[in-house]
Structures are given as structure tokens and as C-alpha cells.
Amino acid sequence: MTQSNVFVTQPFLPSLDEFQPYLEEIWANKILTNGGPFHQRLEAALCEYLGVPNVALFSNGTLALITALQSLRITGEVLTTPYSFVATAHSLTWHGNRPVFVDVDPVTLNMDPSRVEAAITPQTTAIMPVHCYGNPCDVDAIQAIADRYNLRVIYDAAHAFGVQCHCGSVLNHGDLSVLSFHATKVFNTFEGGAIVCHDPKTKQRIDRLKNFGFVDEVTVVAPGINAKMSEINAAFGLLQLKHMPEILSRRGAIDAAYREGLAGIEGIRCLPTSGQKLSNHAYFPILVEPGYPLDRDGLYQRLKDHGIFSRRYFYPLISDFPMYRGLPSAQRSNLPVAAAAADRVLCLPIYPALTAEDQQRVIALIRGA
């Protein structure tokens, strides 16, 4: 019996027929980039869909993070989490900031607010937390600390597209929130990203920075970068947005089936979708704990041997990569909770086209180990 390989994610692709009219419009307009009509329509549509006041589109999430730092003129040290994709800390390095790693909460695996104050120094100017797996950070506690120490808050919200917390979109918290629309994310534009901000003046500054700092044909006001989203990507995003209800309902059903199928297995812990009114089911992380017959890498290998390619997000910790591990805050003794999670976590396949049969294969392999 041959069974096809199953990967942790697979992008949702609308039919080519559906995309054709969008392409024809671009060919007719002959506007390929620089804030063209699809770019404007996608920004407006995302403001409405997400429930946020301003969206500035980007060519990818990493350049959006770097530009977010530049727009607020962040200097010195920035508190962040080691338990994330490496772009979180890399964006700080590219902007000339020093990342200072703060340990995470054992339940949510998000930055632990009770550990933030001890990491603040006179050089600290900002906090960059991550809504890991789309689970909202403790935004109120983080804001209270930021207010007390006069720090800016930039959320890496790459996992949090469409997530709602107790008071509406989680993207409205902090000074800025940054999204990624990479192919592996819940909502994708092949490559892409965005910054969500509160006021039109900040959006104007961000829009200039992503276009070399140009204000008009002859005026450049800042050393900006080229991080503009093209019309093809924006058009694809507009089409993808139409399919979000079916994408989210499929993801929600898969999430529920895992929770049911994995319930009661000794040593397997599913992360709660905590503190959300609306989840995006972006990831399905489990923790392989000591009661389970295999360790995490053993289960990872067992699944792989059967053509199931789960991923160890997030392992290694960012703080264990060579360019960061020399920092005082990168020492594992400073990050015991993140270190334990990195050694135990496994993200299981979750995407709209995942079949019930394949999902049951995954569950059976975990049950039968």
C-alpha cells in the first residue's frame, strides 16, 4: 500500500480560472507595483476583514518587522522571545538593535510578563513579543509594563491573522503589529506581509519608508527600503480573502478532530487555544512529555517513517543559534521554560486540504507508538 506524504502545511490555492480575471485587469492597467489599484483594494479589504484602522502592505513579514522598528526609531535593546521563528530576532539585528531574550509562559509559550521587568536596563527601548501559534499574548500586562517604563511595543503577529481576543482584533494592541503572508501562513499572498497601525500619520511614515523614503518625485525624507507588495501578490490576496470562511472552518474542524483523537493519551498535551474569541487554527502544536513511550524526536521520526512530516516549531530556540548564543540573556538557565518546550514540541499537519483519512493516520500513529 502506498500512501502519499503529508506535510505540516500546504497553501490554499483558489482555482486558476478564478484568478484569471484579476490577471487580466493587471494586464489591462499596466500597473505592476507602487501602490496600484489591487494594493489599495487589499489594504481596504484587510482593514475591514481584520477590524483594524490602518494596514500597510509589504513584500514580506521580515521587511515589515525591520520597517516597524525604523518607523518608531527604536534604538538599543529590545526584549523579545527566544521561542519563535528566527526572523523575530534577525529583524532586530538588521535594524541595529540588540535582542534580549525573556522566557515564556509554560501554558501559552508566549513571553511571560512576570519576567519582563527583570530584563529591562537603561538601554531598553521596546518589547517585541510574538503571539505564538496565534494565541494572544497577555497584552494588558505587557502594555502596563511598557507604560510604566516608557517602552514601545511591536507585536510580531505573523501567526495571528484574524485572531480576536476579549476586545476585538488582537492586532490593535501595542504600538504596531506585523503580519506575514508567506505561503506557509493561514492567509498568504505567496510572499507578503503588513504593518497594522493606529493612525494615518504613522501609516504615511511607514508607506514612505517601504518606498525608499520618497514623499514625491524629488523629495526623500528618510533612508527607506524597497519593501513594496506587487500587484500580482495583492490581487492574489484579494482573491484568497474571499475564501477565508471555508479555510477557517476546515482548519477549525481539523483542530477539533485532533483534540478529540488525542485526548487521554498519556504524555501528549495539546496546547490550549487560550484567551481567544476567534482562533485561526494556524498550527496544531503538541507537547511530548515524559509519560509518553517515545521522546519528541522519537515521535517525529516515527511519523516521518510513515510519510508524515511534522515540524519541530520552535526548535532550536533562536537564542541557541550561533549569532545569538553568546548573549547573556541567551543562556539556557535564563530560559528554562522555552528550553523545555523546544525539546518537547511537535506541530502536526493542519491545512484545509488535509483529508480525514490522513488525519486519522496521524492520530493512530501517535496513539500506537
Ligand X SMILES: *Cc1c(COP(=O)(O)O)cnc(C)c1O
Site residues for ligand X per CB under 6 A:
60-62, 84-85, 87-88, 130, 156, 158-159, 180, 182, 193
DSSP calls for 174-217? SSEEEEE--TTSSS--SS-EEEEESSHHHHHHHHHHTBTTEEET
Closest contact distance (angstroms) between CB of 121 and ligand X is: 25
Cell of 164: 480576536
Closest contact distance (angstroms) between CB of 33 and ligand X is: 17
Instruction: Give the C-alpha separation, 213 to 61, whole Å.
Output: 19
For the chain, the farthest-separated pair of C-alpha atoms sits apart, in whole angstroms, at: 67
Q: Across the strands, what pairs with 287?
A: 269, 345
Given the complex with ligand X, which of 70 and 268 has the nearer CB atom?
Answer: 70
Closest contact distance (angstroms) between CB of 271 and ligand X is: 15
Position of minimal CB gap to ligand X: 61
Instruction: Give the C-alpha separation, 183 to 129, whole Å.
Output: 22
What amino acid occupies position 58?
F
Residue 235, Cβ density class (10 Å: 0-12 exposed, 13-18 middle, ≥19 buried) = buried
DSSP calls for 52-91? -SEEEEES-HHHHHHHHHHHTT--SEEEE-SSS-THHHHH
Would you say 170 and 160 are in contact if contact means Cβ atoms under 8 Å apart? yes
Given the complex with ligand X, which of 43 and 156 has the nearer CB atom?
Answer: 156
Would you say 153 and 170 are in contact if contact means Cβ atoms under 8 Å apart? no
Cell of 219: 523629495
Closest contact distance (angstroms) between CB of 65 and ligand X is: 6
Closest contact distance (angstroms) between CB of 183 and ligand X is: 9
Closest contact distance (angstroms) between CB of 289 and ligand X is: 24
Given the complex with ligand X, which of 161 and 258 has the nearer CB atom?
Answer: 161
Given the complex with ligand X, which of 88 and 172 has the nearer CB atom?
Answer: 88
Given the complex with ligand X, which of 308 and 347 has the nearer CB atom?
Answer: 347
Closest contact distance (angstroms) between CB of 105 and ligand X is: 16
What amino acid occupies position 325?
R
Closest contact distance (angstroms) between CB of 315 and ligand X is: 14
Given the complex with ligand X, which of 185 and 361 has the nearer CB atom?
Answer: 185
Given the complex with ligand X, which of 83 and 292 has the nearer CB atom?
Answer: 83
The sheet carrying 77-80 orders its strands as 54-58, 193-197, 176-180, 152-156, 124-128, 77-80, 98-101
Would you say 123 and 97 are in contact if contact means Cβ atoms under 8 Å apart? no
Would you say 283 and 313 are in contact if contact means Cβ atoms under 8 Å apart? yes
Which residue's C-alpha cell is 490522513?
Answer: 358
Closest contact distance (angstroms) between CB of 20 and ligand X is: 26
Given the complex with ligand X, which of 92 and 366 has the nearer CB atom?
Answer: 92
Closest contact distance (angstroms) between CB of 302 and ligand X is: 26
Given the complex with ligand X, which of 54 and 81 has the nearer CB atom?
Answer: 81
Instruction: Give the C-alpha separation, 238 to 234, whole Å.
Output: 6
Given the complex with ligand X, which of 180 and 359 has the nearer CB atom?
Answer: 180
